[in-house]
């Protein structure tokens, strides 16, 4: 066990999640990286890169949709790493289907990934933070958290629900000195998916017309450091050029 506090990133992927983990590691927290076990190799690569840069990080493969795995994950981190100070829920689950082609399986799976896993994450975080009377819980939202676009019924409904979860938790936990915030990422992120599917991504990057993962991560650190006399609950991030 270390003397350092822990930051748990649920959905520590190659882009935004990885940037958030690196940012908190630079702040002196142990980055606990969580993705499904099938991504264990990528998790370990990310943890190694953070350690090579002078930070502390461990790979923690787990399925965030599984209650038993989530309880065990938080227990393990508290016992073997340190007190959990920051938890970031960063699972996306973005899929597009027409409403007539959206199967029950797709709708349920998206809800499990984007909402139910968020509930389990928030609950387990709160259970560890409440006895200490401090902590930060951050949820990554999307444009779909605010409005449902054509073809995104499953994704938008799940993201709306996660936003409501964050609101409810903030009202319950805020007076107990636990900062809960919801970050709306309203725009395309400079990610592997975008780089593979948007032809002019290099131009957009040069113009700062696409969200930079490191810039997003800096805002998460800012939220954690905010004085409690002026906490932000919802933060809307978008590039200065919004037209696509």
Q: Give the model confidence (pLDDT) of 173-211 as tens digits.
A: 999 999 999 999 987 787 676 676 667 777 878 777 788
Hunting for tokens 């009377």 — which residue is that?
133
- pLDDT tens digit string along 95-110? 888 999 989 999 999 9
Q: Residue 116's pLDDT band (boundaries 50, 70, 90)?
A: very high
The DSSP-derived string for 95-156 is --B-GGG--HHHHHHHHIIIIIHHHHHHHHHHHHHTTTT-EEEEEEEEGGGT-PPTTBHHHH
Nearest to 115 by CA among 143, 93, 144, 100: 93
- The angle subtended at Cα 127 by Cα 182 and Cα 82, nearest 5°, is 90
Identify the structural domains of the chain with CATH numbers, from first to last. Answer: 6-230 (3.40.50.720)
Q: In whole angstroms, what is the distance from residue 190 CA to residue 211 CA?
A: 6
| pLDDT score, position 168 | 98
Residue 197 confidence (pLDDT)? 66
**If you average pLDDT over residues 111-135, what whole number do you get?**
97
Q: For the CA atoms of the chain, what is the radius of gyration?
A: 17
């Amino acid at each position: 066990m270390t003397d350092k506090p822990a930051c748990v990133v649920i959905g520590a992927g190659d882009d935004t999640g990885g940037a958030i983990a690196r940012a908190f590691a630079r702040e002196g927290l142990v980055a606990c990286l969580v993705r499904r076990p099938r991504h264990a190799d990528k998790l370990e690569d990310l943890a190694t890169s953070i350690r090579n840069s002078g930070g502390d990080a461990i790979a923690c493969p787990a399925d965030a949709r599984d209650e038993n795995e989530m309880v065990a994950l938080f227990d393990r981190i508290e016992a073997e790493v340190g007190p959990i100070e920051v938890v970031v829920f960063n699972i996306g689950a973005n899929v597009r289907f027409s409403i007539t082609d959206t199967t029950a399986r797709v709708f349920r799976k998206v809800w499990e990934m984007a909402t139910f896993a968020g509930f389990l994450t928030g609950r387990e975080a709160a259970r560890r933070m409440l006895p200490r009377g401090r902590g930060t819980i951050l949820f990554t939202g999307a444009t779909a958290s605010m409005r449902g676009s054509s073809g995104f019924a499953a994704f938008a409904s799940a993201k709306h629900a996660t936003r409501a979860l964050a609101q409810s938790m903030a009202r319950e936990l805020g007076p107990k000195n636990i900062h809960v915030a919801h970050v709306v990422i309203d725009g395309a992120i400079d990610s592997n998916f975008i780089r593979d599917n948007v032809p002019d991504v290099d131009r957009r990057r040069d113009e700062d017309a696409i969200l930079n993962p490191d810039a997003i991560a800096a805002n998460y650190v800012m939220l954690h450091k905010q004085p409690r006399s002026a906490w932000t609950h919802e933060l809307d991030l978008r590039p200065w050029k919004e037209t696509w």
